[in-house]
Structure 1
Amino acid sequence: MPLRAFLLAVLVTFIWGVNFVVIRLSVHGAPPLLVAALRFALAALPAVFFLKRPAVPLRLLIGYGLTVGLVQFGLLYVAVALGLSAGLASLLMQIQAFFTALLSAAWLRERLLPNQIAGMALAFGGMALIGAGGSHQGGLLALGLVLLAALGWAVSNLQVRQAGGADVVSLVVWSSLVSPLPLLLGSGLLSGWDPTLHALTHSGLGFWAAVAFMGYFNTVLGFGLWSRLIQAHGASRVAPLSLMVPVFGLLSNALYFHEAFPLLNVVAALLVFLGLLLHVFGGKWLAARAIPT
């Protein structure tokens, strides 16, 4: 991969990692589902007027929008609002890699490799440790919500596969039209209409800057660059670089919020990250070991 492409990939993972801190800042004092609704509204507008609708069935477009908007990010925002560390959330969301493998095995009959099974065992062991100390990170409810969010991400990965060769950027932008209204309704029901309307009418410049960052930089620019890199250099070279997202997420969270990370969570995070490494790179390592010398 050329240096320029590698640096662009690092930039995207940096944006995605820092975004978890931005999420935490934006849901502090504002209903989390409202923040998610605004994020997707900005991701769709005005870009939807400049991009052709993707060549996918309407049910897939709507399904993808609901899966990403309501499940993946709606639940993630609520989990962070409940107190889950932004850095820990950035790591746990990567569990989507395991959920994607499991769903692919169940629905697409893809075979699970030994390194994938071993990686899952390590990562889920780490998650069990995190659950044991959940009272310090938003409780078991927040942990459960972020894992459901990761499951939503995995389902959206399979939906992207169903989209075939459709323009991914166009899919992201057009599907972003689907979730704002359901998220706004959910905000009114979950947080109350008065807090929702108050946040809409009385939030300061910092809040709107955070929403704009999530909508334009994290969603449109981030997904746009990432999909272009995958198209130009292949998923096998680009996708593993997403492991830098939790690194940037954990570092930015520690630097900005000056949070002490309990030893139990340090061990748990290492287990999850080692599981991810084994899941992504273990197959190549085993294949290299199998080659006779």
Structure 2
Amino acid sequence: MKPGHIALALLTTALWGFNFVMIRIGLESGLPPLLMAALRFMVVAIPALWLPRPKIPLGRMLAIGMFLFVGQFALLFTGMAAGMPPGLASVTQQSQAFLTALFAAAMLRERPGARSVAGMAIAFAGLALIGTTAGTAGMTSLGLTLCLAAAASWAFGNVLLRGAGSSPGGPLAFMSWLGIVPILPLLALSLLIEGPAEITHALAGLNLNGIAAILYVALLATSVGYGIWGFLMARYPATTVAPFALLVPITGALSAHLVTGESFGPIRLAGMGLILAGLGVTALRWPPRKAAA
């Protein structure tokens, strides 16, 4: 990858890491998870009023929106509301990197090279090491299950993004139009599961924390973050881009520690080191070995 594109990928991981803290703040402000997800995409879709529609078949756009946005965030927000702390939620979501590689190999015939496999194995060991600390952080089995299902939906959405092409209006236009897709499905799920009374109560009591959370997860985490992600996915193999998301547990854990007081000790730090090492093996260009004289 080009150095500038690596920098964009790193920015995305920072935005996504802090995203988990903002989701927790929004949920604690009284927003039901499915309603919060729907409000997120109402804000995301606003620029579609003046930006050109991406040149993507409608069926593919609907499929990407359903997996990348509806499936992922309905499950993630509900999982966090069911007892998944933000730092650990950021860890579980990164199983999408390995699921993306599996789905890409099956659907796109993208066979990862030996270095990619080695790097992902190192990173997976770090992710697994961090996961061993889950029992000490109040994580529920329901929250874990829902968050892992969200990661699977994200991974399938990643594969659908490959080859989707570019938007004449750039990444912002792509994300804005894509953000239209989840609004009605998420609102329908909110009405069905959370009910009109809870929705009305949440909207009537919406405070500054809830508004700030919605704006962050909509504008920075989605419009900017997923705009960059879609830009990179359209230009590089999924197995090259997806491992960058393994940095999200680091930014997510640090953010959760600083803002919510969620703790992590030497085991998590060792796991983060392995994740960084695996990412370096997978994504960075190494100088070619000189041939023997």
Q: Indicate the TM-score class for this superposition, using the shorter chain for normalisation.
A: 0.7 to 0.9
1:126–1:267 Cα contact (<8 Å) kept: no
**Residue of 153, 173, 177 corresponding to 2:180:** 177
Aligned to 1:216: 219
Q: Which has the higher helix share?
A: 1
Change in 2 beyond 3 A, CA 1:6/1:168: closer
Change in 2 beyond 3 A, CA 1:211/1:144: same
Unpaired segments ≥5 residues, structure 2 = none
Unpaired segments ≥5 residues, structure 1 = none
Return the alpha-carbon distance in structure 1 between the equivalents of residues 262 and 241 of structure 2.
31
- Give 1:136 shift: 3.8
Aligned residues: 284
Return the alpha-carbon distance in structure 1 between the equivalents of residues 161 and 190 of structure 2.
27
Return the alpha-carbon distance in structure 2 between the equivalents of residues 75 and 138 of structure 1.
15
The amino acid across from 1:18 in the alignment is F
Return the alpha-carbon distance in structure 1 between the equivalents of residues 60 and 255 of structure 2.
35
Percent identity, aligned pairs only, is 35
2:83–2:142 Cα contact (<8 Å) kept: no
Return the alpha-carbon distance in structure 1 between the equivalents of residues 208 and 283 of structure 2.
48
1:126–1:270 Cα contact (<8 Å) kept: no
Return the alpha-carbon distance in structure 2 between the equivalents of residues 37 and 197 of structure 1.
14
Aligned to 2:89: 89
Aligned to 2:24: 24
1:85–1:137 Cα contact (<8 Å) kept: yes
Return the alpha-carbon distance in structure 2 between the equivalents of residues 114 and 241 of structure 1.
17
My pick for the range that moved more, 52-61 or 67-76, is: 67-76
My pick for the range that moved more, 111-120 or 18-27, is: 111-120
Write out per-residue CA displacement over residues 226-273 of structure 1, whole angstroms, 9 at most, x where no aligned residue: 556x49xx6589876554433221111001111233x5xx63674476
Q: TM-score, normalised by structure 1?
A: 0.81
Aligned to 1:255: 258
1:17–1:247 Cα contact (<8 Å) kept: yes
Return the alpha-carbon distance in structure 2 between the equivalents of residues 57 and 208 of structure 1.
34
2:41–2:182 Cα contact (<8 Å) kept: yes
Return the alpha-carbon distance in structure 1 between the equivalents of residues 213 and 282 of structure 2.
39
What is the Cα-based RMSD across aligned positions, in Å?
Answer: 3.4
2:52–2:173 Cα contact (<8 Å) kept: yes
The amino acid across from 2:281 in the alignment is G
- 2:270 maps to 1:267: no
SS in 2 for 1:52: coil
- 2:22 maps to 1:33: no
- Give 1:94 shift: 2.0
The amino acid across from 2:164 in the alignment is A
- Give 1:275 shift: 5.3
Change in 2 beyond 3 A, CA 1:130/1:247: closer
Aligned to 2:210: 207
